[in-house]
């Protein structure tokens, strides 16, 4: 090898160029590896974040906490609260149900001793000495199908015209059909109890002794929807005129290919309305939002804030905000502001409940003032801690939430100044929850039309039950041609 000092300039320059190219390649390799490391680090962080999602820090349902492998369950609440801590059986403060003795039993059966006395005499010849004690058993008679023939008589007027009696309400035009009782029972199992069609058929056969077909059960959804059309129209009108209503939505797989649709729900304390739609402006407009004039309680989904829907006020669901703040607390361990904001919001909800129970219209200033100041202080600290991202970059976790809490202060705390407003949208979520049960039992619902009919019947039944009317009785009335109607709105005088 020629010493460097003896190399001609051209050779030395070639070596330098080769080394420079090698260094450039190494730098490019290092930069690519750094990029891959950053990308993989971001993916790992994203996967860890997804694995940490649960019902306490996201909108996931509590039922998903223990069924998804690898998902971290929520930490127990301080003081031992949370899921799974209730004792089985009757809860404190809940009215109990017990069997009562009836003075007028439907049937009395006498039972006499049998066998032989110790003296050897047969007890069948013993002298009756009255009833020693009595026991009452509450039971139901086994169902027995009956066939009622309706004869529509005709009469001839003196003028020669013939008149035929009208067919009774609820009676099908077919010569042979199922009556309103069995139709109501079958639709009750399908819609209210969320049984699949095959299991509903099995129940009807075993319980009633009637061998119905799956095709007939499918047809009941459309028949039921037609029967409750007028009550549902009235429910829609009532909700649109209510001063406070909660709105929510949940995905549902519908149709032959399992297309993703959404069940939209609007709920008040006495009314419920469901509709099958999409998560788009057209569906939301059709679903009452274009007509609402009161306060709408909802999560922070952007369509609720569309400029087209400007007739109502907003109350952001505090439960959603608390979950988002819980997420911030886990994302930024050691930071005090998420805990402080949660504490203040929970305190305001508690004060609102106390004030409502006391018959007040607003939370007193001396009770709300310190909590609102604590809440605002937490938001200010959070905004100073979580800096905004550069333009075009994704905002860090919690930044959008903090800006919402700052900019929409009135929409966050409206429930403090108007106690008719719900602080959370939990009632609407409870109304929607059975449809997730339906999907878990049956998978996708195969027909968009049948699902829309199912939701119409569910709107009718949920509203009837909120008014203290049995769902089964409401269906009986509907199939008899006289459906239960929601009460008319009381016009203030």
Judge whether 77 lies within some domain: no
User: How many DSSP H helices and E strands does the chain contain?
Assistant: 15, 7
Going by the DSSP 8-state scheme, the letter that residue 63 receives in this structure is: G
The more confidently predicted of residues 109 and 9 is 109
What confidence tier does 78 reach under pLDDT thresholds 50, 70, 90? low
Query: What average pLDDT score do residues 52-71 get?
Result: 66
Least confident of 12-26, 294-308, 326-340: 12-26
Same-domain status, 310 and 327:
no
Same-domain status, 406 and 265:
no
Same-domain status, 409 and 285:
no
Least confident of 85-89, 104-108, 373-377, 472-476: 85-89
Same-domain status, 343 and 287:
no
Same-domain status, 391 and 264:
no
Same-domain status, 325 and 401:
yes
At 252, which CATH number? 3.30.420.10
Going by the DSSP 8-state scheme, the letter that residue 191 receives in this structure is: I
Same-domain status, 340 and 302:
no
Judge whether 488 lies within some domain: no
Same-domain status, 330 and 399:
yes
Judge whether 99 lies within some domain: no
Same-domain status, 356 and 411:
yes
Range of the domain at 277: 240-315+426-460
What confidence tier does 102 reach under pLDDT thresholds 50, 70, 90? very high
Same-domain status, 295 and 435:
yes
Judge whether 253 lies within some domain: yes
Judge whether 215 lies within some domain: no
pLDDT in tens, 126-157: 999 999 999 999 998 888 888 999 999 999 99
- What are the helix (H) ranges across 386-408? 399-407
**Number of compact structural domains in the chain:** 2
Same-domain status, 335 and 412:
yes
Judge whether 181 lies within some domain: no
Judge whether 170 lies within some domain: no
Determine whether 209 is exposed, middle or buried from the number of CB atoms within 10 Å of its CB (0-12, 13-18, 19+). exposed
CA distance 372 to 353: 16
* DSSP assignment string, 240-308: HH-SEEEEEEEEEEETTTTEEEEEEEEE-SS-EEEEEE-SSHHHHIIIIITT--SEEEE-S-GGGG-TT
Of 417, 440, 469, the residue at which a domain comes to its end is 417
What confidence tier does 77 reach under pLDDT thresholds 50, 70, 90? low
Same-domain status, 447 and 305:
yes
Judge whether 342 lies within some domain: yes
């Amino acid at each position: 090898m020629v010493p460097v000092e003896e190399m001609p300039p051209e050779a030395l320059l070639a070596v330098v160029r080769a080394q420079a190219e090698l260094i450039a390649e190494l730098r490019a390799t290092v930069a690519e590896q750094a990029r891959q490391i950053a990308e993989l680090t971001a993916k790992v962080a994203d996967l860890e974040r997804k694995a940490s999602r649960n019902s306490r820090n996201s909108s996931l349902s509590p039922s998903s906490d223990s069924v998804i492998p690898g998902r971290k369950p929520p930490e127990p609440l301080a003081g031992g609260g949370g899921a799974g801590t209730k004792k089985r059986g009757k809860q404190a403060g809940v009215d109990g149900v017990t069997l009562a003795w009836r003075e007028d039993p439907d049937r009395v059966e006498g039972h006499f001793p049998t066998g032989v006395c110790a003296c050897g005499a047969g007890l069948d010849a013993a002298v009756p000495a009255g009833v020693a004690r009595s026991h009452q058993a509450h039971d139901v008679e086994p169902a027995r199908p009956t066939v009622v023939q309706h004869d529509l008589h005709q009469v001839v007027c003196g003028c020669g015209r013939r008149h035929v009696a009208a067919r009774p309400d609820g009676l099908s035009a077919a010569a042979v059909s199922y009556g309103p009782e069995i139709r109501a029972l079958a639709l009750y199992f399908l819609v209210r109890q969320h049984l699949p069609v095959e299991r509903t058929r099995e129940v009807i056969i075993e319980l009633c002794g009637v061998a119905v077909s799956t095709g007939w059960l499918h047809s009941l959804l459309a028949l039921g929807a037609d029967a409750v059309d007028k009550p549902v129209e009235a429910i829609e009108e009532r909700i649109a005129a209510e001063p406070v209503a909660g709105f929510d939505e949940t995905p549902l797989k519908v149709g032959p290919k399992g297309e993703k649709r959404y069940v939209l729900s609007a709920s008040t304390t006495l009314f419920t309305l469901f509709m099958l739609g999409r998560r788009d402006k057209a569906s939301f407009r059709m679903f009452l939002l274009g007509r609402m004039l009161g306060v709408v309680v909802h999560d922070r989904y952007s369509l609720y804030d569309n400029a087209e829907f400007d007739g109502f006020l907003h109350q952001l669901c505090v439960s959603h905000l608390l979950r988002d703040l819980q997420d911030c607390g886990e994302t930024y361990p050691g930071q005090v502001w998420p805990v402080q904001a949660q504490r203040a919001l929970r305190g305001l909800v508690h004060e609102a409940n106390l004030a409502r129970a006391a018959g007040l219209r607003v939370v007193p200033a001396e009770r709300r003032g310190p909590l609102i100041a604590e809440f605002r202080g937490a938001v200010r600290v959070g905004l100073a801690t979580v800096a905004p991202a550069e333009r075009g970059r994704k905002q860090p976790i919690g930044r959008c939430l903090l800006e919402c809490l700052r900019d929409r202060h009135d929409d966050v705390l409206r429930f403090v100044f108007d106690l008719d407003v719900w602080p959370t949208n939990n009632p609407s979520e409870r109304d929607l929850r059975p449809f997730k049960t339906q999907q878990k039992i049956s998978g996708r619902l195969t027909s968009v039309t049948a699902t829309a009919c199912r939701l119409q019947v569910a709107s009718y039944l949920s509203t009837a039950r909120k008014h203290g009317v049995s769902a089964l009785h409401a269906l009986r009335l509907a199939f008899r041609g006289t459906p239960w109607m929601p009460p008319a709105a009381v016009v203030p005088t």
